[in-house]
Structure 1
Amino acid sequence: MNRSLSFLFSLVFLMVFGQMANAQTPLIPKLIWKVNRIDLGTILEEQGLQRAEFEFTNPQDSSFILEEILAECGCTSVEFSRDTLKKGDKGKVIISFDPTSAAGFFSKLVVVKGDSGRIQDSLFLEGIAIPYPTNLKLAYPVKLGSLGFRLKKINMGDVFDNEPKVKYVEFFNFGEELLEQGKFSFNAPEYIKMEQVQPFVRSQERGLIRITYDSRLKNDLGFFEDEVSLSWKSSPSDEFKLHVIADLFEYFPPISKDKLEEVPQLLIAQKVIDLREISANSIVRRQVTISNAGKMPLEIRKIQGNCDCLTIESPKNTLAPGESIQLNLIFDPMGRKGIDQRNIYLFTNDPLNPVQLILLKSKIE
């Protein structure tokens, strides 16, 4: 047998033997975690250590020993049992986080090791930590009665209709009254819920209000601003009014590459319309062509301008594949002067670009 043939035979033998060895090596399943990521929400520094429990189950036929847990930083401490777990047994890993170690958003990694290093799982602890301010009056400049807030309006940001959006708003109790969780009440649209987080907020203490915005109940798209009021029954005369703003969007699940050509697709012929110099006394009319370049019907969910001075007319709300229509834009510049820009938002069922913008620019004389 020549050297080349001998080398080829050896190589084939090693490959086959390696595959057999790998096939005979049992795969060790990881632990089954109830969740591997916990969001603590918003935490005030003075609330102290925050605890989170991660529950797991041992799915292995053999017994399991949790040997070591490595934390990303000294701001987290860990408690766990080193007892032997049989198949189906459950256990807990308790992680404590010190909020004085962070400011703003945090995400801490914890690595769980067991079975002589054969199992290594990752856990994540997340949240927002707010340090105690050095100057309370500067930190909470918006005064509503005896309460201090950071901003005049609560911005919920982007809210999608697949799940409610939650935000925590901090406040400072500059008054003398004890604010009890059980006496907290609010008046808001059905899609906005509010609750006091702490059981008590004493005089000269900070508190948190948990706001939940459910856009499915709102059943609309675009920008909205709502006035809400809150009070404590111990002092019904002290009703505090806040403004909640949000941008509402429709949620579209991810699409596989082979489906990209089949979905609706909105094309706008002209996304920037420059009217140049116009008179404040003259109403301006323009047309914009929009088309459906996809293979499924395109539905116009909503068309929203950022000003009452805009009127947008559409001859229909559904475009067949390949169809085009003309949008009529009517702009009344009365009472305006100088460089002006108007935004027109188109909400459709195009899953790749569900919201598109048309800019209307002008210089008003």
Structure 2
Amino acid sequence: MIRIEKTLAFLFVLLFITQVTLAQDTVPQRVIWAVNKVDLGTILEEQGPQVAEFEFTHTQDSLYYIETVWSDCGCTDVEYTRDTLVVGESGKLQVTYDPTVGVGYFSRMIIVKGNLQGTQDTLFIEGNAIPRSSNPERDYTTRKGKLGFRLEKVNMGEVFTNEPKLKAVEVYNFGEDIIYKDSLMFGGPEYIQVSQLTDSIMPNDRGLLQVMYDGNMKGDLGYFEDRISLNWQDSSSFIHLDVLADVFEYYAPFAKDNLNVVPQLVLDPKEIDLSKIQASEIQVENVVLRNAGRQILEIKKIQGNCDCLRLEIPKTTLDPGEMIELKVVFDPKGRKGIDQRNIYIFSNDPVNPVQLLLLKSRVE
């Protein structure tokens, strides 16, 4: 009997908590923020404090004002509208970030609490803070003319076709001329653009370039390396830069119920182990590509990471349930020891748009 009473009491409490939770979930949103996260991008220490601005609108009939603001870091200062707002009125909140406090990537949280129930919101600022260099000769080892870079090439990483990828690149001016933003002339493919973020780069000082890579405009998938040219007319600086990128097709999220409907690429096998082979013997293997979905599968591209590979398929579209064979021809000439070749297959399979096929061997 006691156990039954305890069980009923527990169920009553659980039901009460559930009702309270549902009631809280149905509270209408009183404050709408234009954005809840601001990316400050790459910040040089000498640029000083950076400001992120958030705008909000009060949507309900009750009077609203910001009661308290917390931050998870002493590196931020916050200013905000302190007026009491009626329905339809807007306010602003400004977060000032000090880049001298931390080095590298940062993500800071700001909690804003209003006077009304359900008006506690969380905002974020993020970016990448780079400290001053104490030894430019050591840190900017790649010289291109009178300009110094940290790395030999600009690696954009993964670039998707739904939106251009941006990357900030440090440049150090070892020359005697001022490098002005307005004098920069760019030469290269249309899917890559370069601009100078800082208005000027003084002698023995650094600045930022911004590289933009448009994967959709590229019109191709896979790994690419492009050479671009930059010319600052007022300083007679002319350089070449190599830009690396892995371009991938973007597929929007879809309902779980459609998982078995969309195209599905299945590889058999996913890994080929040739074991010991002779460098003088060309190897030929076949891999089955099957469409396990209910929509047409498109093989958009097959790319190997070596000129020693020849890849052939009889067609590029597969009906539901259809299978074809990928012919893999590997010429190990000039190779010795443990060898691994990567073969990338790009398709319209939205779950796995890029699949990796491994070809392993030990070349005698």
**TM-score if structure 2 supplies the norm length?**
0.91
What does residue 143 of structure 2 align with? 143
| 8 Å Cα contact 2:178-2:235 kept in structure 1 | no
| 8 Å Cα contact 1:173-1:202 kept in structure 2 | yes
Distance 1:256 1:163 in 2: 22
1:191 maps to 2:212: no
| 8 Å Cα contact 2:310-2:329 kept in structure 1 | yes
1:49 maps to 2:49: yes
Indicate the SS of the match to 1:158.
strand
What does residue 329 of structure 1 align with? 328
How far 1:274 moved relative to its partner? 1.9
Amino acid at match of 1:283: I
Unaligned runs of 5+ in 2: none
How far 1:24 moved relative to its partner? 12
1:62 maps to 2:65: no
Distance 1:208 1:24 in 2: 47
What does residue 283 of structure 2 align with? 284
How far 1:180 moved relative to its partner? 0.5
How far 1:43 moved relative to its partner? 0.3
What does residue 129 of structure 2 align with? 129
Correspondences of 1:1-365 after superposition (within 5 Å) = 27=27, 29-115=29-115, 118-236=118-236, 238-365=237-364
How far 1:310 moved relative to its partner? 0.8
Distance 2:45 2:110 in 1: 22
Over 3 Å counting, the alpha-carbon distance change for 1:24 and 1:193 in structure 2 is: closer
How far 1:105 moved relative to its partner? 0.9
Indicate the SS of the match to 1:217.
helix
> For each residue in 1:249-274, what CA deviation from the matched residue of structure 2 results, as whole angstroms up to 9, or x when unmatched?
01111232211111111111112212
Deviates more, 1:131-140 or 1:151-160: 131-140
Over 3 Å counting, the alpha-carbon distance change for 1:208 and 1:23 in structure 2 is: closer
How far 1:282 moved relative to its partner? 2.7
Give the aligned length. Answer: 353
> For each residue in 1:239-298, what CA deviation from the matched residue of structure 2 results, as whole angstroms up to 9, or x when unmatched?
111110010101111232211111111111112212223232332211111211111111
Over 3 Å counting, the alpha-carbon distance change for 1:123 and 1:23 in structure 2 is: closer
Distance 1:48 1:105 in 2: 16
Over 3 Å counting, the alpha-carbon distance change for 1:206 and 1:326 in structure 2 is: same
How far 1:28 moved relative to its partner? 5.1
| 8 Å Cα contact 1:140-1:148 kept in structure 2 | yes
Over 3 Å counting, the alpha-carbon distance change for 1:68 and 1:268 in structure 2 is: same
Distance 1:235 1:49 in 2: 30
Task: Give RMSD over aligned pairs.
Answer: 2.4
Amino acid at match of 2:319: A
Q: What is the percentage of aligned positions where both structures have the same residue? A: 52
Indicate the SS of the match to 1:96.
strand
Indicate the SS of the match to 1:228.
strand
| 8 Å Cα contact 1:67-1:116 kept in structure 2 | no
Amino acid at match of 2:303: Q
Over 3 Å counting, the alpha-carbon distance change for 1:24 and 1:173 in structure 2 is: closer
Amino acid at match of 2:228: V
| 8 Å Cα contact 2:105-2:128 kept in structure 1 | yes
| 8 Å Cα contact 1:63-1:84 kept in structure 2 | yes
Distance 1:26 1:352 in 2: 34
| 8 Å Cα contact 2:34-2:56 kept in structure 1 | yes
| 8 Å Cα contact 1:227-1:241 kept in structure 2 | yes
Distance 2:32 2:334 in 1: 65
> For each residue in 1:301-344, what CA deviation from the matched residue of structure 2 results, as whole angstroms up to 9, or x when unmatched?
10001111111000011111111111111112222222221111
Distance 2:313 2:28 in 1: 61
Unaligned runs of 5+ in 1: none
